[in-house]
Amino acid sequence: MADWPEEISLEAFRRAWVLEGEEFWNKVFEMHRDKIQIKNPRVAIGNLEKIFTATFKLANSKGFQAMSLRDLSSESGISMGGLYAYIGSKNELASVIEGVLRNYIDEVIGELVTKDLDPVDRLRAIIYGELFMMQLLNPWYYFCYMELKGLDREQQQQAMDLELRFDGLLVDAINAGVKNKQFVCANPELLASSITGQLQQWHLKHWKFKLREVNLEQYAAHIFDNLLLVLQYRGAEAGASGIAQSA
């Protein structure tokens, strides 16, 4: 568990939460150590990274169902027999990926709710935090979004519950601001859904942001500034995000 950084930047977020590198894959290994035949962590961690990375490359371009384990074997450089020392079955591989991501999101969300922030700062933290997560775990998010319907019903429900919980964070912050008379909002739940949908665009429509040459900070400021305008927050027009508005 980590602390939310005081400074809001991708670099500070990257330092506060371990979502890449050897330390990250070590945590992934620990999370389903029991479902794996290989006991030696040093060898398991390296191969897990190979398998997951290859899965993302193949599934996120042609689709998980269209990816065969022969594809995965040649892309990861691990033989078909070797794969089964790590994954149990093809469907379990997808299930594990969803489980790991959901676990991480839960952890970050759980830490956020303990923070005592005023409504504006809270909304900023949620928006920037989720976008930083999506940036660092981009292929994980995209995979889980696109392949969710391939999982069993229980897991689909857990993913939907998580999304509702995330919406709930936004709703609570909006309602707090409405109570303060800082915000005006007729339907906080619908507005929260809109924000969540816009955040998810960052991984769903990566091609478009690349084409438009929009970077993460610009997109975060765009969502946040527009949200304050919708909430009719005073001072919103001046760029209340505290970060330069995109040109």
Query: What one-letter code names the amino acid at 77?
Result: G
237 phi, psi to nearest 5 deg: -65, -25
Partner from its own copies, DNA, none binding residue 43, C-beta < 5-8 Å depending on class: DNA
What mask, x for binding DNA by CB under 7 A, covers residues 65 to 104? --xxxxx-----xxxxxx-xx---xxx-------------
Q: Report, in Å, the least distance between residue 31 CB and DNA.
A: 17
Structure-derived torsion over alpha carbons of residues 109, 111, 116, 120, reported in degrees to the nearest 10: -30
Q: Which stretch binds DNA (CB under 7 A): 42-50, 147-155, 160-168, 196-204?
A: 42-50
Choose which of 172, 198, 217, 243 interacts with its own copies (CB under 8 A).
198
- Rule CB under 8 A: is residue 232 a binding residue for its own copies? yes
Check residue 91 and report its DSSP letter.
Answer: H
Q: How far apart are CA 55 and CA 47, in angstroms?
A: 12
Which positions from 64 through 103 interact with its own copies, judged by CB under 8 A?
65-66
Among 71, 201, 206, 217, binds its own copies (CB under 8 A): 201
The binder of DNA chosen from 6, 34, 40, 114 (CB under 7 A): 40
Cα separations in angstroms, 84 against 8, 30, 51, 72, 122: 42, 18, 11, 12, 44
Tell me: does residue 164 bind its own copies (CB under 8 A).
yes
Minimum gap (Å) between residue 93 Cβ and DNA: 8
| Residues 138-169: b if buried by 16+ CB within 10 A, e if exposed | ebbbbbbeebeebbeeebeeebeebeeebbeb
Residue 131: CB atoms within 10 A of its CB come to: 22
Distance CA 65, CA 145 (A): 14
Q: How far is the CB of 54 from its own copies (least distance, A)?
A: 17
229 binds its own copies (CB under 8 A): yes
Q: Does 189 bind its own copies (CB under 8 A)?
A: yes
Binding site for DNA (CB under 7 A): 37-40, 43-44, 47, 67-71, 77-82, 84-85, 89-91
